[in-house]
Amino acid sequence: MENNNVQLLGLGESELEQFAIDSGQPSFRGRQLYQWLYKRGITDIDEVTVLPKNWRDSLIKQGITVGTLTEKDRWVAEDGTIKLLLATVDGELIETVGIPTSQRLTICISSQIGCSMACRFCATGKGGLQRSLKVNEIVAQFFAIKNVFGKTPSHIVFMGMGEPLLNIKAVLSSIRCFNQDLHIGQRRITVSTVGVLKSLPILAESALKYLGSVQFTLAVSLHAPNQNLRELLIPSAKQYHLNTLLNDCRHYIDITGRRVSFEYILLGDVNDQNEHAEELADLVAGFQSHINLIAYNPIEEETFKRPSLNRIYAFMDILKRRGVTVTFRKSRGLDKNAACGQLRHIQP
């Protein structure tokens, strides 16, 4: 392993042992690094005082870092949700969100700086894509939220900025870290995607190869019950037909043995009518699936509106009557633009 430009966060125990050996140190020094990274949550190599001072100085001189992010701003919503603005080493900015309840702390993680998918209802894509996040930058969000709340996140959702399936390798590497190094069960991790052509089979096969098993939840964002409406809301749908996406979902299920959840943002008078609910029920027929309904969270660039609660419940009732398992996800952090679809690609 070359030492230049190495960020240690995200590396596993065996990788850190090899890192120590390659640096001329005994392997147990790597295990010490591992303990201080993941048990103590250190942010600087010089904090690892059990390591020889001359080795610490050498690593720092080489530019080797832990790979944490710097908090630039913080917003606390009325419901206790906290949104952080975090800076990368190269000065880019990302947003990540901690969502507390009485029984859990969920972190909404970003996988990219900005997003190229340009979904009309989402603020992140309005600024385009800058780059994908590295493994250490994904894992560092976990520690940022942990430090703010003073407790370990219990659930992780890749529903922040970016399209995770355009950064599969780093996302899977971070899931390995969350699971094996930070002891977050895969079943408490969700990867959300709007759909990237030919990527679902790659995700399934890569996850099996790299993680050994696939227990995390895949959440596929539909947001429309037919191809024409989906194209109006999601530009990439023009190159990735809805029927092809659903076939890829079936392929994913065949490979992994895991069911797929579907996400559906309700836009008032756009995709929330009774006929849309009936059409959606037809669309997911045959899937052992679950549908999460989300009311549109306003962004300044669009004039979409949130549906009324009566409309939401009427939509749900139709799905339930058709035998579809469905829940309505309450918006969190709405007053601080921390809810689903409101995270932004902020220019540094």
- Per-residue confidence at 278, pLDDT binned at 50, 70, 90? very high
In a domain, 213, yes or no: yes
> What is the extent of the structural domain holding 259?
70-336
> pLDDT (tens digit, 9 = 90+) per residue, 329-338?
999 999 999 9
CB of 53 closer than 8 Å to CB of 108: no
What does the pLDDT read at residue 4? 54
In a domain, 249, yes or no: yes
234 with 107, same domain: the answer is yes
Mean pLDDT of the chain: 96
Is 95 a known active-site residue? yes
Instruction: Please determine, for residue 289, whether its predicted confidence score (pLDDT) is greater than 90.
Output: no
- Where b means 16+ CB within 10 Å and e means fewer, 172-199 reads bbbbbbbbebbebebebbbbbbbbbeeb
What CATH number does residue 180 fall under?
Answer: 3.20.20.70
In a domain, 6, yes or no: no
Instruction: Please determine, for residue 346, whether its predicted confidence score (pLDDT) is greater than 90.
Output: no
The residue among 203 and 347 whose pLDDT is bigger is 203
Instruction: Tell me which of 17, 95, 137, 163 is the catalytic residue.
Output: 95
Alpha helices in 45-198 (DSSP H): 53-61, 135-149, 168-176
**Pairwise CA distance, residues 292 & 110, whole Å:** 20
What does the pLDDT read at residue 1? 43
What does the pLDDT read at residue 5? 75
206 with 87, same domain: the answer is yes
Instruction: Tell me which of 115, 119, 122, 340 is the catalytic residue.
Output: 340
CB of 165 closer than 8 Å to CB of 172: no
